[in-house]
Structure 1
Amino acid sequence: MQDKIAMTAPGGEALLFLTDDQIRRGIEAMYFAYRAFTSDPDLILAEMDYGRAHHRALHFIHRDPGLTVTALLDVLGVTKQSLNRVLRTLIEDGLVDSRVGRRDRRERQLYLTDSGTALERKLSETQRARLRTAFRTAGPQAVAGFRQVLEAMMDRDMLRQYRAFRDLPDTP
Protein backbone atom coordinates (compact mmCIF):
# COMPACT_ATOMS: atom_id res chain seq x y z
CA MET A 1 0.00 0.00 0.00
CA GLN A 2 1.35 3.38 -0.95
CA ASP A 3 0.82 6.41 1.21
CA LYS A 4 -0.64 9.40 -0.53
CA ILE A 5 0.40 12.81 0.64
CA ALA A 6 -2.28 15.42 0.09
CA MET A 7 -1.28 19.04 -0.11
CA THR A 8 -4.01 21.58 0.42
CA ALA A 9 -4.35 25.26 -0.26
CA PRO A 10 -5.13 27.71 2.55
CA GLY A 11 -8.84 27.45 1.62
CA GLY A 12 -8.75 23.69 2.13
CA GLU A 13 -8.99 22.51 -1.50
CA ALA A 14 -6.68 19.68 -2.51
CA LEU A 15 -3.88 20.76 -4.81
CA LEU A 16 -1.72 17.71 -5.22
CA PHE A 17 -1.65 14.03 -4.29
CA LEU A 18 1.78 12.43 -4.21
CA THR A 19 2.32 8.70 -4.09
CA ASP A 20 5.41 7.01 -2.66
CA ASP A 21 6.46 6.28 -6.24
CA GLN A 22 6.25 9.97 -7.15
CA ILE A 23 8.25 10.89 -4.05
CA ARG A 24 10.87 8.26 -4.97
CA ARG A 25 11.11 9.74 -8.46
CA GLY A 26 11.61 13.17 -6.88
CA ILE A 27 14.45 11.79 -4.76
CA GLU A 28 16.03 10.23 -7.83
CA ALA A 29 15.65 13.48 -9.77
CA MET A 30 17.49 15.28 -6.93
CA TYR A 31 20.32 12.74 -7.05
CA PHE A 32 20.74 12.97 -10.82
CA ALA A 33 20.39 16.76 -10.86
CA TYR A 34 23.03 17.06 -8.14
CA ARG A 35 25.34 14.75 -10.10
CA ALA A 36 24.91 16.93 -13.19
CA PHE A 37 25.28 20.13 -11.15
CA THR A 38 28.61 18.99 -9.68
CA SER A 39 30.02 17.19 -12.74
CA ASP A 40 31.71 20.15 -14.43
CA PRO A 41 33.36 21.52 -11.28
CA ASP A 42 34.40 17.98 -10.30
CA LEU A 43 36.48 17.72 -13.49
CA ILE A 44 38.26 20.99 -12.72
CA LEU A 45 38.77 20.04 -9.06
CA ALA A 46 40.15 16.59 -9.96
CA GLU A 47 42.94 18.21 -12.01
CA MET A 48 44.06 19.93 -8.81
CA ASP A 49 43.52 16.96 -6.45
CA TYR A 50 40.68 18.88 -4.79
CA GLY A 51 37.21 17.73 -3.90
CA ARG A 52 33.77 19.22 -3.40
CA ALA A 53 34.65 20.38 0.11
CA HIS A 54 37.28 22.67 -1.42
CA HIS A 55 34.68 24.07 -3.81
CA ARG A 56 32.15 24.68 -1.05
CA ALA A 57 34.77 26.45 1.08
CA LEU A 58 35.80 28.66 -1.85
CA HIS A 59 32.16 29.44 -2.63
CA PHE A 60 31.21 30.57 0.87
CA ILE A 61 34.45 32.49 1.49
CA HIS A 62 33.82 34.29 -1.79
CA ARG A 63 30.23 35.10 -0.82
CA ASP A 64 31.27 36.50 2.58
CA PRO A 65 34.86 37.78 2.61
CA GLY A 66 36.20 37.80 6.16
CA LEU A 67 34.05 34.81 7.12
CA THR A 68 35.51 33.24 10.24
CA VAL A 69 36.63 29.64 10.40
CA THR A 70 33.96 29.03 13.06
CA ALA A 71 31.22 30.46 10.82
CA LEU A 72 32.44 28.39 7.86
CA LEU A 73 32.36 25.26 10.04
CA ASP A 74 28.76 26.06 10.92
CA VAL A 75 27.72 26.68 7.31
CA LEU A 76 29.40 23.58 5.89
CA GLY A 77 28.37 21.30 8.73
CA VAL A 78 31.68 19.42 8.69
CA THR A 79 34.10 18.49 11.44
CA LYS A 80 36.85 20.87 12.46
CA GLN A 81 39.44 18.26 11.43
CA SER A 82 37.92 17.92 7.97
CA LEU A 83 37.74 21.69 7.42
CA ASN A 84 41.29 22.16 8.68
CA ARG A 85 42.60 19.75 6.03
CA VAL A 86 40.71 21.62 3.30
CA LEU A 87 41.75 25.08 4.50
CA ARG A 88 45.38 24.07 4.98
CA THR A 89 45.54 22.96 1.35
CA LEU A 90 43.80 26.09 0.05
CA ILE A 91 46.08 28.34 2.11
CA GLU A 92 49.26 26.47 1.14
CA ASP A 93 48.24 26.64 -2.53
CA GLY A 94 47.77 30.40 -2.29
CA LEU A 95 44.00 30.41 -2.86
CA VAL A 96 42.85 31.50 0.61
CA ASP A 97 44.33 34.04 2.98
CA SER A 98 43.76 33.52 6.71
CA ARG A 99 44.04 36.70 8.79
CA VAL A 100 43.80 37.50 12.48
CA GLY A 101 40.30 38.66 13.39
CA ARG A 102 39.71 42.39 13.67
CA ARG A 103 37.52 42.18 16.78
CA ASP A 104 38.85 39.00 18.33
CA ARG A 105 42.49 38.15 17.67
CA ARG A 106 41.74 34.47 18.41
CA GLU A 107 39.48 34.31 15.35
CA ARG A 108 40.76 33.63 11.87
CA GLN A 109 39.06 35.48 9.03
CA LEU A 110 39.17 33.98 5.56
CA TYR A 111 39.57 35.78 2.25
CA LEU A 112 40.14 34.55 -1.28
CA THR A 113 43.33 35.60 -2.98
CA ASP A 114 43.22 36.68 -6.63
CA SER A 115 44.00 33.07 -7.60
CA GLY A 116 41.27 31.80 -5.30
CA THR A 117 38.78 34.24 -6.79
CA ALA A 118 39.70 33.10 -10.31
CA LEU A 119 39.26 29.43 -9.40
CA GLU A 120 35.96 30.07 -7.62
CA ARG A 121 34.69 31.95 -10.68
CA LYS A 122 35.75 29.12 -13.00
CA LEU A 123 34.04 26.48 -10.84
CA SER A 124 30.85 28.45 -10.25
CA GLU A 125 30.43 29.68 -13.82
CA THR A 126 29.83 26.11 -14.98
CA GLN A 127 27.08 25.76 -12.40
CA ARG A 128 25.60 29.17 -13.16
CA ALA A 129 25.44 28.26 -16.85
CA ARG A 130 23.67 24.98 -16.06
CA LEU A 131 21.16 26.69 -13.73
CA ARG A 132 20.63 29.59 -16.14
CA THR A 133 19.69 27.13 -18.92
CA ALA A 134 17.45 25.08 -16.62
CA PHE A 135 15.71 28.17 -15.23
CA ARG A 136 15.08 29.59 -18.71
CA THR A 137 13.71 26.25 -19.87
CA ALA A 138 11.44 25.80 -16.84
CA GLY A 139 10.15 29.37 -16.67
CA PRO A 140 9.64 31.82 -13.80
CA GLN A 141 6.81 29.97 -12.04
CA ALA A 142 8.79 26.74 -11.96
CA VAL A 143 11.86 28.57 -10.68
CA ALA A 144 9.84 30.13 -7.85
CA GLY A 145 8.33 26.73 -7.05
CA PHE A 146 11.74 25.07 -7.11
CA ARG A 147 13.09 27.59 -4.62
CA GLN A 148 10.04 27.06 -2.40
CA VAL A 149 10.60 23.31 -2.45
CA LEU A 150 14.29 23.69 -1.59
CA GLU A 151 13.53 26.08 1.26
CA ALA A 152 10.79 23.78 2.57
CA MET A 153 13.34 20.94 2.73
CA MET A 154 15.66 22.96 5.00
CA ASP A 155 15.38 22.81 8.75
CA ARG A 156 15.11 26.10 10.64
CA ASP A 157 18.87 26.56 11.20
CA MET A 158 19.73 25.79 7.59
CA LEU A 159 17.04 28.14 6.37
CA ARG A 160 18.46 30.89 8.61
CA GLN A 161 21.95 30.30 7.22
CA TYR A 162 20.66 30.24 3.64
CA ARG A 163 18.77 33.48 4.10
CA ALA A 164 21.81 35.16 5.64
CA PHE A 165 23.85 34.32 2.53
CA ARG A 166 20.96 35.06 0.18
CA ASP A 167 20.72 38.56 1.63
CA LEU A 168 24.41 39.34 1.03
CA PRO A 169 25.13 41.59 -1.93
CA ASP A 170 26.00 39.76 -5.13
CA THR A 171 29.71 39.28 -5.73
CA PRO A 172 31.28 39.50 -9.16
Structure 2
Amino acid sequence: MAFKYVNMADITRDPSGARRQNLTRDSAQDAPSSANGRADLITHVELFFFAYRDFTGDPDAVLAQYGFGRAHHRVLHFVHRNPGLRVANLLEILKITKQSLARVLKQLIGEGFITQRAGAEDRRERLLYATVKGTRLAEKLTALQVKRVEAALAAAGPEAEAATKRFLLAMISEEDRAQVEALVRVSPAGDKTSGENR
Protein backbone atom coordinates (compact mmCIF):
# COMPACT_ATOMS: atom_id res chain seq x y z
CA MET A 1 0.00 0.00 0.00
CA ALA A 2 1.42 3.36 -1.00
CA PHE A 3 1.35 6.26 1.39
CA LYS A 4 2.25 9.88 1.20
CA TYR A 5 5.05 11.43 3.22
CA VAL A 6 4.24 14.80 4.72
CA ASN A 7 6.41 17.44 6.30
CA MET A 8 6.49 16.75 10.04
CA ALA A 9 6.01 20.48 10.68
CA ASP A 10 2.67 20.30 8.85
CA ILE A 11 1.25 17.83 11.35
CA THR A 12 2.51 19.43 14.55
CA ARG A 13 -0.65 20.57 16.26
CA ASP A 14 -1.71 21.30 19.79
CA PRO A 15 -4.60 19.34 21.43
CA SER A 16 -7.14 21.90 20.19
CA GLY A 17 -6.22 21.11 16.59
CA ALA A 18 -4.64 24.49 15.85
CA ARG A 19 -1.17 24.71 14.34
CA ARG A 20 1.35 25.06 17.18
CA GLN A 21 3.81 27.93 16.99
CA ASN A 22 7.25 26.38 16.66
CA LEU A 23 9.12 29.54 17.58
CA THR A 24 8.95 32.13 20.32
CA ARG A 25 7.64 35.64 19.64
CA ASP A 26 11.18 36.94 19.37
CA SER A 27 12.20 34.28 16.88
CA ALA A 28 9.20 35.10 14.70
CA GLN A 29 11.03 38.31 13.82
CA ASP A 30 14.18 36.49 12.68
CA ALA A 31 15.44 36.92 9.14
CA PRO A 32 14.27 34.46 6.45
CA SER A 33 17.78 32.96 6.35
CA SER A 34 17.41 32.01 10.01
CA ALA A 35 14.06 30.38 9.29
CA ASN A 36 15.59 28.48 6.38
CA GLY A 37 18.42 27.32 8.62
CA ARG A 38 15.93 26.04 11.18
CA ALA A 39 13.97 24.24 8.47
CA ASP A 40 17.20 22.57 7.31
CA LEU A 41 17.92 21.44 10.87
CA ILE A 42 14.40 20.04 11.23
CA THR A 43 14.99 18.16 7.99
CA HIS A 44 18.13 16.66 9.54
CA VAL A 45 16.13 15.63 12.61
CA GLU A 46 13.52 13.95 10.44
CA LEU A 47 16.14 12.20 8.33
CA PHE A 48 17.71 10.97 11.55
CA PHE A 49 14.36 9.48 12.62
CA PHE A 50 13.95 7.65 9.33
CA ALA A 51 17.57 6.49 9.21
CA TYR A 52 17.26 5.12 12.76
CA ARG A 53 13.99 3.40 11.86
CA ASP A 54 15.65 1.48 9.03
CA PHE A 55 18.95 0.93 10.89
CA THR A 56 17.09 -0.76 13.74
CA GLY A 57 14.41 -2.32 11.55
CA ASP A 58 16.76 -4.90 10.03
CA PRO A 59 17.75 -6.48 13.37
CA ASP A 60 14.28 -5.92 14.88
CA ALA A 61 12.87 -8.54 12.52
CA VAL A 62 15.47 -11.09 13.69
CA LEU A 63 15.07 -10.19 17.37
CA ALA A 64 11.30 -10.69 17.14
CA GLN A 65 11.88 -14.35 16.31
CA TYR A 66 13.38 -14.76 19.79
CA GLY A 67 10.87 -12.56 21.58
CA PHE A 68 13.62 -9.97 22.09
CA GLY A 69 13.62 -6.22 21.63
CA ARG A 70 16.17 -3.46 21.21
CA ALA A 71 17.20 -3.54 24.87
CA HIS A 72 18.25 -7.19 24.43
CA HIS A 73 20.16 -6.21 21.30
CA ARG A 74 22.11 -3.45 23.04
CA VAL A 75 22.99 -5.63 26.01
CA LEU A 76 24.08 -8.53 23.81
CA HIS A 77 26.07 -6.24 21.51
CA PHE A 78 28.17 -4.65 24.24
CA VAL A 79 28.70 -7.88 26.16
CA HIS A 80 29.80 -9.63 22.97
CA ARG A 81 32.15 -6.78 22.02
CA ASN A 82 33.59 -6.49 25.55
CA PRO A 83 33.99 -9.97 27.09
CA GLY A 84 34.11 -9.83 30.88
CA LEU A 85 32.15 -6.58 31.00
CA ARG A 86 31.05 -5.69 34.52
CA VAL A 87 27.36 -5.21 35.16
CA ALA A 88 28.16 -1.78 36.65
CA ASN A 89 29.95 -0.75 33.45
CA LEU A 90 27.06 -1.98 31.32
CA LEU A 91 24.70 0.21 33.34
CA GLU A 92 26.94 3.21 32.62
CA ILE A 93 27.03 2.45 28.91
CA LEU A 94 23.30 1.95 28.47
CA LYS A 95 22.14 4.54 31.03
CA ILE A 96 19.22 2.41 32.14
CA THR A 97 17.99 1.42 35.58
CA LYS A 98 19.19 -1.67 37.42
CA GLN A 99 15.65 -3.03 37.24
CA SER A 100 15.49 -2.67 33.46
CA LEU A 101 18.87 -4.30 32.98
CA ALA A 102 18.06 -7.09 35.42
CA ARG A 103 14.93 -8.02 33.47
CA VAL A 104 16.75 -8.15 30.13
CA LEU A 105 19.82 -9.93 31.52
CA LYS A 106 17.68 -12.53 33.25
CA GLN A 107 16.10 -13.46 29.92
CA LEU A 108 19.38 -13.49 27.99
CA ILE A 109 21.08 -15.60 30.66
CA GLY A 110 18.08 -17.87 31.10
CA GLU A 111 17.91 -18.60 27.39
CA GLY A 112 21.64 -19.22 27.08
CA PHE A 113 22.80 -16.13 25.18
CA ILE A 114 24.90 -14.65 27.99
CA THR A 115 26.68 -16.18 30.95
CA GLN A 116 27.89 -14.42 34.07
CA ARG A 117 30.86 -15.29 36.23
CA ALA A 118 32.20 -14.00 39.49
CA GLY A 119 35.27 -11.76 39.34
CA ALA A 120 38.64 -13.37 40.05
CA GLU A 121 39.61 -10.76 42.65
CA ASP A 122 36.19 -9.71 43.90
CA ARG A 123 33.75 -12.62 43.96
CA ARG A 124 30.88 -10.16 44.32
CA GLU A 125 31.59 -8.76 40.88
CA ARG A 126 29.49 -10.10 38.03
CA LEU A 127 31.34 -10.36 34.73
CA LEU A 128 29.35 -10.94 31.56
CA TYR A 129 30.26 -13.04 28.53
CA ALA A 130 28.39 -13.95 25.35
CA THR A 131 27.96 -17.70 24.90
CA VAL A 132 28.49 -19.41 21.55
CA LYS A 133 24.76 -19.03 20.94
CA GLY A 134 24.89 -15.37 21.94
CA THR A 135 27.91 -14.72 19.76
CA ARG A 136 26.13 -16.16 16.71
CA LEU A 137 23.11 -13.92 17.26
CA ALA A 138 25.19 -10.82 18.02
CA GLU A 139 27.26 -11.28 14.87
CA LYS A 140 24.16 -11.85 12.75
CA LEU A 141 22.60 -8.61 14.00
CA THR A 142 25.83 -6.66 13.57
CA ALA A 143 26.27 -7.96 10.01
CA LEU A 144 22.86 -6.55 9.06
CA GLN A 145 23.70 -3.12 10.41
CA VAL A 146 27.24 -3.09 9.02
CA LYS A 147 25.83 -3.88 5.58
CA ARG A 148 23.46 -0.90 5.77
CA VAL A 149 26.15 1.48 7.06
CA GLU A 150 28.64 0.27 4.44
CA ALA A 151 26.14 0.87 1.63
CA ALA A 152 25.25 4.32 2.95
CA LEU A 153 28.89 5.39 3.26
CA ALA A 154 29.63 4.13 -0.25
CA ALA A 155 26.65 6.07 -1.62
CA ALA A 156 27.64 9.23 0.27
CA GLY A 157 31.11 9.39 -1.25
CA PRO A 158 34.77 9.07 -0.27
CA GLU A 159 34.75 11.77 2.42
CA ALA A 160 31.65 10.43 4.18
CA GLU A 161 33.34 8.06 6.63
CA ALA A 162 35.42 10.66 8.44
CA ALA A 163 32.60 13.24 8.36
CA THR A 164 30.10 10.71 9.71
CA LYS A 165 32.38 9.77 12.60
CA ARG A 166 32.84 13.41 13.51
CA PHE A 167 29.10 14.07 13.29
CA LEU A 168 28.09 11.07 15.40
CA LEU A 169 30.71 11.84 18.06
CA ALA A 170 29.53 15.45 18.17
CA MET A 171 25.95 14.23 18.76
CA ILE A 172 27.08 12.52 21.97
CA SER A 173 27.02 14.56 25.18
CA GLU A 174 30.38 16.21 25.71
CA GLU A 175 30.84 14.68 29.15
CA ASP A 176 30.39 11.16 27.69
CA ARG A 177 32.37 11.61 24.48
CA ALA A 178 35.80 10.47 25.68
CA GLN A 179 34.32 7.39 27.33
CA VAL A 180 32.44 6.47 24.15
CA GLU A 181 35.53 7.00 21.99
CA ALA A 182 37.49 4.63 24.23
CA LEU A 183 34.69 2.07 24.31
CA VAL A 184 34.15 1.88 20.56
CA ARG A 185 37.83 2.46 19.78
CA VAL A 186 37.29 5.19 17.23
CA SER A 187 40.06 5.05 14.66
CA PRO A 188 41.56 7.75 12.45
CA ALA A 189 39.83 8.23 9.09
CA GLY A 190 40.56 5.44 6.67
CA ASP A 191 41.60 2.90 9.32
CA LYS A 192 39.40 -0.13 8.69
CA THR A 193 40.74 -2.22 11.58
CA SER A 194 39.27 -0.33 14.52
CA GLY A 195 37.32 -2.50 16.92
CA GLU A 196 38.02 -5.77 15.11
CA ASN A 197 40.37 -7.21 17.71
CA ARG A 198 38.85 -6.30 21.04
- State TM-score, norm by structure 1: 0.87
Matches of 1:36 and 1:159, distance apart in 2: 25
| Aligned position for 1:170 | 196
Mapping 1:132-147, distance limit 5 Å:
132-147=150-165
Q: Structure 2 vs 1, CA of residues 118 and 85 (structure 1 numbering), >3 Å: closer, same or farther? A: same
Q: Retained in 2: the 8 A contact 1:135–1:143? A: yes
> Is the 1:59–1:120 contact (alpha carbons within 8 Å) kept by the matching residues of 2?
yes
| Other-structure match for 1:83 | 101
2:166 matched to 1:148?
yes
Partner Cα distance (1:165, 1:139) in 2: 27
Counterpart secondary structure, 1:140: coil
Q: Deviations over 1:47-102 (max 9, x none)?
A: 11100000001110111100000000000010000000000000000000100012
- Unpaired runs of at least 5, structure 2: 1-27, 186-193
Which amino acid in the other structure matches residue 83 of structure 1?
Answer: L
In the alignment, structure 1 segments of 5+ residues that lack a partner are 6-16
Q: CA RMSD in A?
A: 2.0
- 1:4-153 pair list within 5 angstroms: 19-153=37-171
Return the alpha-carbon distance in structure 2 between the equivalents of residues 18 and 59 of structure 1.
39
Q: How many residues align?
A: 161
Letter in 1 for 2:138: E
Change (3 A) 1:170 1:21: same
**Which protein has greater RCO, CA pairs closer than 8 Å, 6+ apart?**
1
Inter-CA distance 115–75: structure 2 relative to 1 (3 Å threshold): same
How far off its partner does 1:104 sit? 1.6
In structure 2, the CA distance between the partners of 1:62 and 1:157, relative to structure 1 (3 Å rule), is farther
Cα displacement (A) at 1:166: 2.3
After superposition, the Cα gap between the structure-2 partners of 1:56 and 1:171, relative to the gap in structure 1 and judged at 3 Å, is: farther
Moved over 6 A (4+): none
* Residues in 2 aligned to 1:40 and 1:103: alpha-carbon distance in whole angstroms: 40
Give the structure with the larger strand fraction.
Answer: 1
Measure the CA separation in 2 of the matches of 1:44 and 1:171.
26
Tell me the distance in 2 between the aligned counterparts of 1:140 and 1:107.
45
Q: d(CA) in 1 for partners of 2:48 and 2:133?
A: 32
